[in-house]
Amino acid sequence: MANKSLITRVLTSIFFKRANIGAVRYARNSRSLYKLVRDALDKSGGLSGKNVTAFREQLGVVTRLLKAYASGDYRQIPWKTLIRIIAVLIYFVSPLDILPDFLPIIGLTDDIALMLWLFSGITDDLERFRQWEMTHNSPKEKAPRQPEIVRIG
């Protein structure tokens, strides 16, 4: 019950509202999305604990989905889900939120709770992406994306 209360406080906070507003800008800017993914992965690298492996696995799926979206390879994600993912990642990487990250131990509690809320709320969308990924993104067959050639004049 306390976890539910924390999620409610986070979702109604000014910090999350700002993240939601920023999410639309990020969704329209591939460079910003790639940086957000990198920042989220960097922050998760410092986490430790018994359930971190499952958390990182889920975060890996979410970040691969965002990379595929940013590259234009995968666009079958509902806009609402995309904005939710981006807003949660913005909140996750921000050091200033309801429980500032610099507070020992409890500073990441709200971030982790919000990420777990995200993962549980978009399981169907993540599963669809995983299915798409298995058929379109085989690591053995994936060639690097060639840059487009732009001719001037």
Domain ranges for the chain: 2-136
Compute the CA torsion angle 119, 124, 127, 128 (nearest 10 deg): -130
Residue type for position 130 = R
The CA-based angle 33-29-72, given to 5 degrees, is 80
First to last CA, the chain: 64
* Tens digit of pLDDT at every position of the chain (153 positions): 456 688 999 999 999 999 999 999 999 999 999 999 999 998 888 777 777 888 889 999 999 999 999 999 999 999 999 999 999 999 999 987 777 766 766 777 888 889 999 999 999 999 999 999 999 865 544 444 544 554 554
pLDDT (0 to 100) of residue 152 = 54
- Tokens 């970040």 map to which residue? 63
Q: Give yes or no for a contact between 33 and 137, defined as CB atoms under 8 angstroms apart.
A: no
pLDDT (0 to 100) of residue 69 = 97
| Whole-angstrom distance, CA of residue 76 vs CA of residue 115 | 22
Residue 93: Cβ within 10 Å count: 21
Tokens of residue 150, six digits: 């732009």
Tokens of residue 140, six digits: 């053995």
pTM over 0.95: no
- For residue 36, which of 82, 97, 76 has the smallest C-alpha distance? 82
pLDDT (0 to 100) of residue 1 = 46
pLDDT (0 to 100) of residue 84 = 97
pLDDT (0 to 100) of residue 142 = 46
pLDDT (0 to 100) of residue 140 = 44
pLDDT (0 to 100) of residue 79 = 97
